[in-house]
């Protein structure tokens, strides 16, 4: 027998063994599952804790009307009369969202202090003096270090940081 024939025989034997092994695994995997019998009587049954019986369920807790379906033929006016009016939630208080950038002294206006305020909502920089308005915010007072702002009766004091010119 030459070398090529021997290699073919070896390859055939290996393939046949692999096929038999694969068939065995498939047969075992698809075979029926047999369960081991469980014996409940014996010494372990007496030492098992007794399960307390729960009280019977009260089905009346599920008697809530979660989805109101109006009866057939009812008018929308009658439906509105039966609903409970709800008040809308209160609107949150307005916030002052201006940022103090700088305070400058205006020599053209008699040395009056002006605050450079940045408005992030409108993305603009505004120079404002005392009693000026920036949107809905009123500038109450501008000094060389602080600015007092007011919105809807609420006041906020902005100050320059230490080390600022």
What pLDDT score was predicted for residue 150? 92
76 φ, ψ (degrees, to nearest 5): -65, -30
pTM for the model: 0.44
Domain ranges of the chain: 1-28, 99-159
What pLDDT score was predicted for residue 87? 81
**CA dist list (Å): 151 to 97, 119, 148:** 10, 14, 10
b/e sequence 13-50, b meaning 16+ C-beta within 10 Å: eeeeeeeeeeeeeeeeeeeeeeeeeeeeeeeeeeeeee
Q: Assess whether pLDDT exceeds 90 at residue 15.
A: yes
49 — pLDDT class (breaks 50, 70, 90):
low
Q: Assess whether pLDDT exceeds 60 at residue 44.
A: no
Among 16-20, 37-41, 84-88, which range has the highest average pLDDT? 16-20
Encode pLDDT of 101-141 as tens digits.
999 988 887 888 999 999 888 889 999 999 999 888 999 99
Percentage of the residues of the chain whose pLDDT score is greater than 70: 81
Task: Tell me which fold the domain 99-159 belongs to.
Answer: SH3 type barrels. (2.30.30)
Mean pLDDT of 71-90: 67
What pLDDT score was predicted for residue 149? 93
Q: How many helices (H) and strands (E) does the chain have?
A: 3, 7
11 — pLDDT class (breaks 50, 70, 90):
very high
Average confidence score pLDDT of the chain: 81
- Which residues lie closer than 8 Å to 131 by C-beta, 6 or more apart? 138, 139, 140
């Amino acid at each position: 027998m030459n070398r090529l024939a021997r290699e073919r025989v070896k390859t055939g034997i290996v393939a046949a063994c692999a096929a038999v092994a694969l068939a065995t695994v498939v047969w075992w995997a698809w075979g029926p599952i047999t369960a081991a019998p469980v014996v409940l009587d014996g010494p372990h049954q007496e030492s098992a804790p007794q399960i307390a019986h729960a009280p019977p369920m009260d089905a009346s807790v599920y008697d809530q009307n979660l989805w109101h379906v109006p009866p057939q033929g009812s008018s929308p006016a009658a439906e509105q009369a039966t609903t409970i009016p709800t008040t809308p939630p209160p609107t949150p208080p307005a916030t002052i969202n201006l940022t103090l950038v700088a305070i400058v002294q205006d020599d053209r206006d008699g040395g009056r202090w002006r605050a450079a305020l940045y408005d992030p909502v409108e993305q603009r920089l505004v120079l404002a003096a005392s009693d000026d308005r920036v949107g809905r915010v009123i500038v109450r007072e501008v000094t060389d270090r602080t600015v007092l702002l007011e919105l809807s009766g609420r006041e906020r004091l902005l100050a320059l940081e230490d080390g600022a010119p």
